[in-house]
């Protein structure tokens, strides 16, 4: 059979298995097993056992459940309740006023959750009722929240970055640090859009609350200061080389437990719920990673990644053309798959091509995260759209339409990091790495 026919058959098999309701991780393993049985001489059973054990026992992956647990602990504190109260005084005088709480709140919470869906749900619970009650336009409230919540994937610690780092064999610590400046850039673009809209539509912006002195603002924000210090400690320890990503994750867990205890929200039920929530999420991710590792091995034995890389190389595409083609590919793929599945399914196939094109794997990791972010707000399978639909009761297409400006700003961010790659690579080049 030709490569095209084999690829078509395996894709059809994957969709048939997924359509029958089988979990994604098991579906990937099933397709890999079928591929090896039909198109390879190696025994599938032995290969599956060795590969799944190897992918599941990776020390690098230890950081993933720890960061997930850190996010779950802080999710159950009073952080979400205190965040609006703490942020509101600082953005009162900006054009667009309290709409900026969506962007700043998502930026802060992204640094503790690692998930865009969790960021969207948490910040949405806080800002949607408050902003609607104060008379801010619904389309701006929901649209900016949809876009800003995707920062949960870009700002470290990010679950997607850890998954990419493991599958592409790239330093997770460097990926984390590489995501800082692009995350700040994207947040600035979102806030800039809000300011521009407010200046063009001054009549739609409600009046400001009473002005506060600097000390009053600090007093209102007192609950956020420990969280910001915790984030700084986690990222600072990685940047300075004092800790690996895994050790920094352990610091984050201990710090979040201490914060939770000081706030009085740490008790046995909340501890148990946080631990069980983190366990369930990690088990889901680990199963997908194990299935993807076996599928990557199967594709390698069949020879599809090598043949694809050779075909793309024969097209003679420039770096810019390749990036545009991959952007379109990921956006289309994101209409049907979640972010983790997109990364684990494609990296084994794409990395040889990316390396052959001379693209920095750290830069490519941030690029992938950005296009996965875009996929979070594209129907029909945009996770953030579903979260917002559940919270607001609005039509999925309407939410996607009001989030479109954010989608275009993400396209602009990709353009900027391509033109100025130093936005991504400068900080990793400066950091001290622990051996």
42: left (phi over 0), alpha (psi -120 to 50) or beta: beta
pLDDT of residue 243: 81
What is the mean pLDDT for each group of 10 consecutive residues in the chain (435 residues)?
A: 77 82 82 85 79 74 80 74 76 86 85 74 80 88 90 82 86 89 93 93 81 79 80 82 82 88 85 88 79 79 71 78 87 72 77 84 93 80 75 84 92 94 90 54
Closest to 434 (Cα-Cα) out of 177, 202, 231 = 177
Rounded CA-CA distance 192/208 in Å is: 19
Domain-embedded: residue 412: yes
| Cis peptide, bond prior to residue 251, ω within 30 of zero | no
Residues with Cβ within 8 Å of residue 349, at least 6 apart in sequence? 296, 299, 304, 305, 308
Domain-embedded: residue 435: no
For the record, the structure tokens of 425 come out as 């690579």
∠ CA 258-261-267, rounded to 5°: 130
This prediction has a pTM of 0.78
pLDDT of residue 435: 39
Number of other residues whose CB lies within 10 A of the CB of residue 179: 30
Domain-embedded: residue 1: no
Report long-range pairs for 272-277 (Cβ below 8 Å, ≥24 apart): 273/72, 273/76, 274/69, 274/72, 274/73, 274/75, 274/76, 275/69, 275/72, 277/72, 277/75
Domain-embedded: residue 266: yes
pLDDT of residue 405: 92
How many domains does the structure of the chain reveal? 1
Domain-embedded: residue 136: yes
CA torsion sign, 406 to 411 to 416 to 421?
A: positive
Contact 371, 329 (CB under 8 A): no
pLDDT of residue 308: 67
Which residues form the domain of 284? 25-35+42-430
Rounded CA-CA distance 238/230 in Å is: 13
Closest to 378 (Cα-Cα) out of 331, 326, 418 = 331
- The three-state DSSP-derived secondary structure of 341-370 is HHHHHHHHHHHHHHHHCCCCHHHHHHHHHH
Rounded CA-CA distance 131/137 in Å is: 8
Domain-embedded: residue 19: no
Rounded CA-CA distance 270/188 in Å is: 35
Domain-embedded: residue 360: yes
Where does residue 435 rank: exposed (0-12), middle (13-18), buried (19+ CB within 10 A)?
Answer: exposed
DSSP assignment of 41-103: SS-HHHHHHHHHHHHHT-GGGGHHHHHHHHHHHHHTSSHHHHHHHHHHHHHTTSTTGGGHHHH
Closest to 243 (Cα-Cα) out of 362, 424, 67 = 67
pLDDT of residue 1: 64
Domain-embedded: residue 204: yes
């Amino acid at each position: 059979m030709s490569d095209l026919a084999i690829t078509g058959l395996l894709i059809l098999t994957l969709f048939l298995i997924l359509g029958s309701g089988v979990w994604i991780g098991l579906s990937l393993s099933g397709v890999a097993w079928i591929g090896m049985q039909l198109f390879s001489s190696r025994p599938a059973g032995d290969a599956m056992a060795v590969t799944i054990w190897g992918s599941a026992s990776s020390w690098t992956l230890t950081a993933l459940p720890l960061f997930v647990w850190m996010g779950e602990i802080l999710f159950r504190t009073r952080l979400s309740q205190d965040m609006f109260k703490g942020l509101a005084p600082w953005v009162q005088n900006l054009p667009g006023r309290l709409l900026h709480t969506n962007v700043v709140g998502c930026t802060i919470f992204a640094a503790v959750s690692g998930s865009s869906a969790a960021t969207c749900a948490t910040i949405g619970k806080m800002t949607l009722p408050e902003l609607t009650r104060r008379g801010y336009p619904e389309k701006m409230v929901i649209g900016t929240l949809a876009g800003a919540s995707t920062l949960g994937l870009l700002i470290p610690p990010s679950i997607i970055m850890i998954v990419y780092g493991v599958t592409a064999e790239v330093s997770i610590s460097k990926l984390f640090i590489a995501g800082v400046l692009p995350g700040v850039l994207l947040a600035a673009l979102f806030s800039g859009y809000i300011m521009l809209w407010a200046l063009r539509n001054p009549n739609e912006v409600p009046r400001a609350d009473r002005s506060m002195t600097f000390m009053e603002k600090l007093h209102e924000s007192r609950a956020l200061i420990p969280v910001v210090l915790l984030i700084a400690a986690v990222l600072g320890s990685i940047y300075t080389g004092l800790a690996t990503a895994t050790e920094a994750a352990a610091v984050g867990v201990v710090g979040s437990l201490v914060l939770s205890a000081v706030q009085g929200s740490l008790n046995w039920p909340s501890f148990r719920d946080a631990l069980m929530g983190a366990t369930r999420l990690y088990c889901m991710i680990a199963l997908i990673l194990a299935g993807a590792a076996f599928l990557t091995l199967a594709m390698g034995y069949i020879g599809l990644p090598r043949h694809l890389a050779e075909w793309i190389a024969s097209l003679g595409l420039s770096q810019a053309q390749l990036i545009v083609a991959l952007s379109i590919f990921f956006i289309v793929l994101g209409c049907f798959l979640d972010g983790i599945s997109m990364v684990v399914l494609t990296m084994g196939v794409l990395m040889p091509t990316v390396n052959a094109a001379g693209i920095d794997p750290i830069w490519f990791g941030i690029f992938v995260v950005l296009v996965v972010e875009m996929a979070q707000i594209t129907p029909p399978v945009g996770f953030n759209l579903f979260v917002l639909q559940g919270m607001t009761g609005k039509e999925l297409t309407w939410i996607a339409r009001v989030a479109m400006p954010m989608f275009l700003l993400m396209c602009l961010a990709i353009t900027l990091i391509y033109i100025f790659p130093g936005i991504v690579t400068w900080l990793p080049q400066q950091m001290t790495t622990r051996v």
